């Protein structure tokens, strides 16, 4: 494969802190690269260097002449009054095809929007959720016709359906992409090479071919070998220090060379120790130790908002040691249900019984509003320079260090912290509050993978009851003892695990059109049953529908063919053919429903 970007010896620092040094990276056609690492390690900086919005301090970046690049930022910004069609079509106009007309450009933009799941392209950006705005950003980037797509946290704000849609899109595309993500399942399914940016590695980077799961094994082997090397180096340094302590009498050239070598060994050991220092300590959520068997019992509860029924007839019983994971599309009522359990809003019907004196801690996805001018010191320890953790006093400097904050940062205002650092502040405050029932709404937002892993361990060990909403599928699968899926239209179903729920969502998405047409409004019933010709038609209509579905699938594949998308005339023809095939399929479903109804009259 031809090279798109070739980086050699890249180095980048901010003040005294080195992000990476001597980084070599080649991205070729068809490459799928995932970048991971702790918050603040330099992941977004590296993306900005690749696209040319930032410059490395050292090294070179060679981009193929005329390389078409597009980037989806972590928080895309739009004019909220504009429509989806306007935004995506404008992006398509940035790189028109040879002789492509304005109409053909709009057709090409509509093809991309359809692939991203937009049924109404005229809707204004301001009416969309964060997840759908992220889809707009991806659609706009694709419409610009890139050869290399860069994505910074593309799964942020996406619900499961949006994540699955993006996974399918990226794995079906032939263009190369580089993405930053903390979603471990998403990484496992989409990328074929992992690049971890972290200070624990020589040069600040460790790379390995393969999926995320394979990367974990290779990283473990590397770190094990490094630890063994460090142990051997420490033994050598100790022996040299003992020799130096004896004070060699003759300062010969040979002795001086050994002294110099000993100093180099000490320097190397200090370098290894510096890069392995600063790991986060375990997050330990505090239970109250309550022995009550029934902490919360919801019986036949229902709730509607804005005329939309979110859930009805729902029964939930929570005991110590249980974790109820709540899943569903954006707007399906997940946060509303958590607010019901937290006592912040009332149910419309049914009853909610809590154990006497129940101690509930609620972590809102919007998080408690802390004054951005508040110094970090006061956010961690509100009243003094000491916090009480599990009955023991802990100085704020020690408490801050536990969450990877240095003493120098304690007087910084919260406004100067990154999103991940603010997330760690909220977890630090959460750990100081003993609970019988812990209600967490998206606690993983902005958390890096190392912090996710220690949070995951803490949630699994929490002795009380837990209600959890998170888009992190791996964490949900490992922590939740049962899943509650909300359909957003009053329905609620329990699932054993994430895979079962994911399969249900995918199946429902594929069958929505068919079910909607078969169960939709029907014409006036006739008393007579099927005629002779209608019986013949009824016997063959399922085969005709299957053939029509194959035609639609074939045309969808054609719409995804880069040679078609890049040719305005071919794209227009394919788009029109797809619409005609879809209309034919709809007519067959309508006719099937009509024949089914007549058959029932016999």
Please indicate, yes or no, whether residues 202 and 229 belong to a single structural domain of this protein: no
Last residue of one domain, picked from the residues 211, 235, 266 = 211
Say if 248 falls within a structural domain. yes
Which DSSP state fits 414?
G
Q: In this predicted structure, which of 51-60, 262-271, 403-412, 509-518 has the lowest mean pLDDT?
A: 509-518
pLDDT for the residue numbered 516: 43
- Domain containing residue 453: CATH number: 3.40.50.300
- Could you report the per-residue pLDDT of 112-122, keeping only the tens digit for each? 888 888 888 89
b/e for 448-457, b at 16 or more Cβ within 10 A?
bbbbbbbbbe
Last residue of one domain, picked from the residues 487, 502, 517 = 502
Segment 128-153 mean pLDDT: 91
Segment 472-484 mean pLDDT: 92
Please indicate, yes or no, whether residues 301 and 266 belong to a single structural domain of this protein: no
Segment 12-26 mean pLDDT: 86
The residue ranges of DSSP E strands in 88-239, in sequence order, are: 148-152, 176-180, 193-197, 205-209
Say if 392 falls within a structural domain. no
Greater model confidence, 514 or 323: 323
- Could you report the per-residue pLDDT of 489-505, keeping only the tens digit for each? 788 899 988 888 888 87
Residues near 2 by beta carbon (within 8 Å), at least 6 away in sequence? 28, 29, 64
Say if 595 falls within a structural domain. yes
At residue 100, φ and ψ (nearest 5 deg) are -70, 130
Please indicate, yes or no, whether residues 302 and 198 belong to a single structural domain of this protein: no
- Could you report the per-residue pLDDT of 529-551, keeping only the tens digit for each? 777 677 777 788 888 888 887 88
Please indicate, yes or no, whether residues 256 and 134 belong to a single structural domain of this protein: no
Say if 196 falls within a structural domain. yes
d(Cα 144, Cα 151) in Å, to the nearest integer? 14
- Helix, strand, coil proportions of the chain in percent (round to 5)? 45, 20, 35
Please indicate, yes or no, whether residues 344 and 468 belong to a single structural domain of this protein: yes
pLDDT for the residue numbered 250: 46
User: Which of the four pLDDT bands, split at 50, 70 and 90, describes residue 230?
Assistant: low
Please indicate, yes or no, whether residues 19 and 133 belong to a single structural domain of this protein: yes
Say if 525 falls within a structural domain. no
Please indicate, yes or no, whether residues 155 and 42 belong to a single structural domain of this protein: yes
Overall domain count for the chain: 4
- Could you report the per-residue pLDDT of 325-349, keeping only the tens digit for each? 999 888 889 999 999 999 999 999 9
d(Cα 482, Cα 113) in Å, to the nearest integer? 36
Please indicate, yes or no, whether residues 196 and 222 belong to a single structural domain of this protein: no
User: Which of the four pLDDT bands, split at 50, 70 and 90, describes residue 299?
Assistant: very high
pLDDT for the residue numbered 31: 94
Please indicate, yes or no, whether residues 345 and 460 belong to a single structural domain of this protein: yes
Say if 39 falls within a structural domain. yes
Segment 373-394 mean pLDDT: 89
Q: In this predicted structure, which of 50-59, 97-106, 210-219, 291-300 has the lowest mean pLDDT?
A: 97-106
Please indicate, yes or no, whether residues 479 and 578 belong to a single structural domain of this protein: no
Greater model confidence, 579 or 406: 406
In the numeric block, which tokens belong to residue 548? 């029509």
d(Cα 312, Cα 330) in Å, to the nearest integer? 18
Domain of 558 in residue numbering reads as 532-600
Q: In this predicted structure, which of 41-50, 176-185, 411-420 has the lowest mean pLDDT?
A: 411-420
**Beta bridge partner(s), residue 375:** 413
Residue with tokens 């002294």: 259
Please indicate, yes or no, whether residues 113 and 246 belong to a single structural domain of this protein: no
- Is the pLDDT confidence value at 187 over 90? yes
- Is the pLDDT confidence value at 387 over 50? yes
Q: Name the pTM for this structure.
A: 0.71
Say if 203 falls within a structural domain. yes
pLDDT for the residue numbered 518: 40
The residue ranges of DSSP E strands in 80-168, in sequence order, are: 148-152
Please indicate, yes or no, whether residues 31 and 158 belong to a single structural domain of this protein: yes
Say if 541 falls within a structural domain. yes
Last residue of one domain, picked from the residues 189, 211, 233 = 211
Query: CA 190, 199, 152, 568 torsion: positive or negative?
Result: negative
Residue 253 has, within 13 A of its CA and on its CB side, a CA count of 0
């Amino acid at each position: 494969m031809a090279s798109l970007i070739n980086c050699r010896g890249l180095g980048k620092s901010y003040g005294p802190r080195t992000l990476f040094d001597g980084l070599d990276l080649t991205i070729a056609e068809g490459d799928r690269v995932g970048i991971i690492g702790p918050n603040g390690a330099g992941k977004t900086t590296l993306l900005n260097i690749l696209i040319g919005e930032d410059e490395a301090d050292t090294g070179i970046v060679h981009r193929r002449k005329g390389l078409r690049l597009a980037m989806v930022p972590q928080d895309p910004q739009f004019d909220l009054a504009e429509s989806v069609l306007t935004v995506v079509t404008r992006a398509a106009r940035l790189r028109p095809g040879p002789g492509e007309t304005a109409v053909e450009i709009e057709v090409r933009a509509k093809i991309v929007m359809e692939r991203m799941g937009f049924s109404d392209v005229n809707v204004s950006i301001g009416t969309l959720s964060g997840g759908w705005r992220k889809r707009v950003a991806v659609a706009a980037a694709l419409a610009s016709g890139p050869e290399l797509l860069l994505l910074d946290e593309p799964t942020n704000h996406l619900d499961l359906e949006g994540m699955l849609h993006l996974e399918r899109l990226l794995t079906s595309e032939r263009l190369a992409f580089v993405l930053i993500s903390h979603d471990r399942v998403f990484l496992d399914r989409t990328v074929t090479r992992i690049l971890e940016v972290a200070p624990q590695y020589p040069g600040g980077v460790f790379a390995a071919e393969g999926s995320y799961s394979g990367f974990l094994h290779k990283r473990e082997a590397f770190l094990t070998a490094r630890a063994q090397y460090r142990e051997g180096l420490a033994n050598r340094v100790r022996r040299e220090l003992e020799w130096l302590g004896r004070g060699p009498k003759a300062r010969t050239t040979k002795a001086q060379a050994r002294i110099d070598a000993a100093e180099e060994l000490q320097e190397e050991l200090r370098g290894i120790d510096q890069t392995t220092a600063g790991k986060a300590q375990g997050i330990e959520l505090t239970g109250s130790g309550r022995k009550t068997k029934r902490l919360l019992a919801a019986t036949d509860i229902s709730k509607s908002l804005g005329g939309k029924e979110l859930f009805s007839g729902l029964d939930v019983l929570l005991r110590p040691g249980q974790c109820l994971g709540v899943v569903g599309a954006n707007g399906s009522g997940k946060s509303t249900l958590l607010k019901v359990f937290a006592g912040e809003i009332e149910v419309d019907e049914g009853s909610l019984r809590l154990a006497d004196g129940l101690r509930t801690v609620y972590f809102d996805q919007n998080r408690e509003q802390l004054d951005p001018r508040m110094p970090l010191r006061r956010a961690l320890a509100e009243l003094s320079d000491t916090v009480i953790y599990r009955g023991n006093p802990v100085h704020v400097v020690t408490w801050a260090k536990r969450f990877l904050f240095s003493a120098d940062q304690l007087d910084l205002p919260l406004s100067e912290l990154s999103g991940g650092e603010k997330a760690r502040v909220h977890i630090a405050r959460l750990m100081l509050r003993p609970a019988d029932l812990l209600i967490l709404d998206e606690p993983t937002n902005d958390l890096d993978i190392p912090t996710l892993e220690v949070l995951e361990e803490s949630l699994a060990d929490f002795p009380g009851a837990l209600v959890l909403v998170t888009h992190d599928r791996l964490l949900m699968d490992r922590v939740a003892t049962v899943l509650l899926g909300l359909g957003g239209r009053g329905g609620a179903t329990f699932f054993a695990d994430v895979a079962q729920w994911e399969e249900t969502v995918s199946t429902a998405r594929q069958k929505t059109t068919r079910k909607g047409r078969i169960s939709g409004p029907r014409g006036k019933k006739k008393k007579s049953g099927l005629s002779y010709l209608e019986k013949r038609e009824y016997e063959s209509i399922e085969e005709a529908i299957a053939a029509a579905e194959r035609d639609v699938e074939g045309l969808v594949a054609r719409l995804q063919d880069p040679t078609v998308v890049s040719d305005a005339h071919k794209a227009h023809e394919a788009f029109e053919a797809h619409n005609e095939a879809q209309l034919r399929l709809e007519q067959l479903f309508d006719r099937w429903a009509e024949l089914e109804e007549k058959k029932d009259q016999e």
